[in-house]
Amino acid sequence: MQAASRIFQALQKGGPTFGAWQMLPGRNVSRALAGTGIDWVCVDCEHGNVDDAAMHEAVSALAASGVSPIVRIPGNEGWMVKRALDSGAHGVVVPLLNTPQEVETLVRTAKFPPTGIRGFGSPFPMSTFPSPTPLSSATYLQQANTTLLTIIQIETSSALQHVDTIAAIPGVDVLFIGPFDLGINIGHPIVNNVIPKPLEDAILQVKQAADTHGKKTGMFCTSGAQSREWADKGFDMISIAADFAALGELVGRTLAEAKGGSKEGGASGPYGR
């Protein structure tokens, strides 16, 4: 099972992994993103136009294309964790966590007993770990706890305050920074795509905590240059683009060039302008 998870293998190997955000529904959107050569795609059920059925379709399409599907759920609700993992996601991203106690609850809902309380019974996830020998439900049950990623978003002032304790919690795999929300919550928002120095310091504080406790660190970026910058700083899981913003940016730039001009710049917000 671990061999069939591209994101698991990439993180074990070391060095940056690159992914993208899927906010638009549809298998063909998933296939288009997967065809770019990225390691993983986060199917965004928090801010994206992705309902439960669309999530299931995206997860299966991404896995069939050889890319790890990750699902961001709308909030820290046990049934949402269950739905995401039961669809076959290789990991779950959980936003707006605040305390170590909330994170401990999340970990329990993401793990089968005796480690946690996740229920067993979905017929879908075995097919999202393709291998020469089909994955059995028994193998999935036995290996899921050590293969599926639990990804904690650090994007509130409370989570930042408790980041060292959160990073130390067993079962937490990745601390993923939501820089836009984190900046707003600590009073130093990103404006015109510029990260203020206090926010940069907070981001590096999260990385230090992750490094101390042997965890990986993720970062949401809005351009290739920004992605390279954070990769060079040692971040492990980097989102390079979101589908909605990338589509608008490409068409806008192409139209400007067709009219005889040029279009400079990139997204100034997390998902576009």
Active-site residues: which are they? 47
- Let me know the angle formed at the C-alpha of 203 by 244 and 235, rounded to the nearest 5 degrees: 70
Cα–Cα distance measured from residue 43 to residue 209, given in angstroms and rounded to the nearest whole number: 26
Cα–Cα distance measured from residue 132 to residue 224, given in angstroms and rounded to the nearest whole number: 35
Q: Give the helix ranges, DSSP H, for the chain.
A: 6-13, 27-34, 52-64, 78-86, 100-110, 137-147, 157-161, 163-167, 179-185, 197-212, 224-232, 243-258
Cα–Cα distance measured from residue 88 to residue 99, given in angstroms and rounded to the nearest whole number: 27
List all residues 6 or more positions away from 113 whose beta carbon is below 8 Å from its beta carbon: none
Cα–Cα distance measured from residue 23 to residue 46, given in angstroms and rounded to the nearest whole number: 9
**Cα 1 from chain centroid?**
20
The amino acid sitting at 38 is I
Angle between helices 52-64 and 27-34 (to 10 degrees): 40
